[in-house]
Amino acid sequence: MTTVASRFQGVIPPVVTPRTADGAIDVPSLENVTRHLLNGGVTGLFVNGSSGEVTHLTNDERDTVLRTIVGVNAGQVPVLAGAVEQTTNRVIEEAARAVSLGADGIVATSQYYAISNAEENGRHFRAVAASVDVPVFAYDVPVRTHFKLPTGLLVELGREGIIAGVKDSSGDDVSFRQLVLAARDIPNFDIFTGHEVVVDGALLGGAQGVVPGLGNVDPAAYRRLFDLSVAGDWAGAAAEQDRIADVFNIVYTPKAGRVSGNAAGLGAFKTALMLMGIIKTNVMSTPMLALDEDETAAIKVILARTGLI
């Protein structure tokens, strides 16, 4: 299905986790989202990431989600699974379960809650990688972990074959570019941006792909943007990016302060998917509030003007 050379490249959305009205995992809706993404041309699936509300899921729920997506995907594209836990031994437990359920790669953050440092996180990734026989990606998300993975450490881990790449949600485009440059000669080292609205610049700078939460809503647009970049049509890529940036405005529809930052962004993705008929509810994991009627109406306007409904 993909035209790209490496296994983990292109558009790999972090799949949202739909819930039923009474708060259970909504398996049929999750199957639907997965099909929607595959139909949109994604080149991979990232399961149990932040956009999948992974830290809000119990272990049983995490397994249900991964099992469901692996089943629908049936080997069409590679499946990356988050092993998102506070510390090494807990990540190792998560990673083992994910691999046993069919994950083709593991995504792990630095430690959090723990007050850690670079050396400790180096040992952390080494221990995680030693515990599984699939590729491990480092997920750099300091807005959540409050630790920025240093470029030097990531390059060192890449060069030694500990990690196979990086999902960068650091919001730091300077260090992102420097990582891309420093890792350019590492074979099969793949760097993804997690920021939905700067993908054109990231690809121009040499990134291998994108892990966009908004890709749940409009996977085809990200695939078009990626294909334009592969074709060298950068003006076209920027134009597609600008259109996508307008869709991204759905995350700003929640009324100031009514819901948390988490619930605003992820809630907007779910609400859009609900309006598009792909999932049944926009219910969030406890204790997050779902977007309300007004906020849903505002999202509807944006989806309509961008041609998504």
Binding site for pyruvate, by residue number, is 211
Q: Which of 45, 47, 65, 84 binds its own copies (CB under 8 A)?
A: 84
> What is the token pair recorded at 228?
């334009």
> What is the token pair recorded at 66?
């991964």
* Residue 52: closest CA among 18, 24, 96: 18
Handedness of CA 65, 92, 43, 152 (dihedral sign): positive
Among the listed ranges 35-43, 83-91, 97-105, 154-162, the one in contact with its own copies (CB under 8 A) is 83-91
Q: CB of 244: closest distance to its own copies in angstroms?
A: 10
Among the listed ranges 33-41, 75-83, 202-210, 272-280, the one in contact with its own copies (CB under 8 A) is 202-210
Among the listed ranges 40-48, 67-75, 98-106, 256-264, the one in contact with its own copies (CB under 8 A) is 256-264
Q: Which of 31, 120, 156, 292 binds its own copies (CB under 8 A)?
A: 120
- Residue 270 annotated among the catalytic residues of the structure: no
Q: Which of 90, 130, 160, 297 binds its own copies (CB under 8 A)?
A: 90
**How does DSSP assign 44-97, residue by residue?**
-EEESSGGGTGGGS-HHHHHHHHHHHHHHHTTSS-EEEE---SSHHHHHHHHHH
Residue 262 binding its own copies, by CB under 8 A: yes
Catalytic residue among 139, 252, 255, 300: 139
Contact (Cβ atoms closer than 8 angstroms) between residue 91 and residue 52: no
DSSP 19: B
When the beta carbons of 54 and 77 are compared against its own copies, the nearer one is 54
Residue 116 binding its own copies, by CB under 8 A: yes
Q: Is 205 exposed, middle or buried (0-12, 13-18, 19+ CB in 10 A)?
A: middle
Among the listed ranges 11-19, 99-107, 132-140, 258-266, the one in contact with its own copies (CB under 8 A) is 258-266
Footprint of its own copies on 20-39 (CB under 8 A): none
Instruction: Round to whole Å and give the CA distance between 262 and 208.
Output: 27
Residue 202 binding its own copies, by CB under 8 A: yes
Strands ordered across the beta sheet of 105-109: 10-11, 209-210, 190-193, 165-168, 136-140, 105-109, 79-82, 45-47
Handedness of CA 176, 77, 48, 198 (dihedral sign): positive
> What is the token pair recorded at 268?
């907007």
Handedness of CA 92, 98, 99, 103 (dihedral sign): negative
Residue 123 binding its own copies, by CB under 8 A: yes
> What does the per-residue mask of binding to its own copies show for 228-247, with x meaning CB under 8 A?
----x-xx--x--xx--xx-
- Residue 255 annotated among the catalytic residues of the structure: no
Annotated catalytic sites, by residue? 139, 167
Residues at the contact surface with its own copies, assessed by CB under 8 A: 50, 55-58, 61, 84, 86-90, 93, 111-117, 119-121, 123-124, 127, 143-146, 171-174, 177-178, 181, 195-198, 200-202, 204-206, 232, 234-235, 238, 241-242, 245-246, 257, 259-263, 285-289
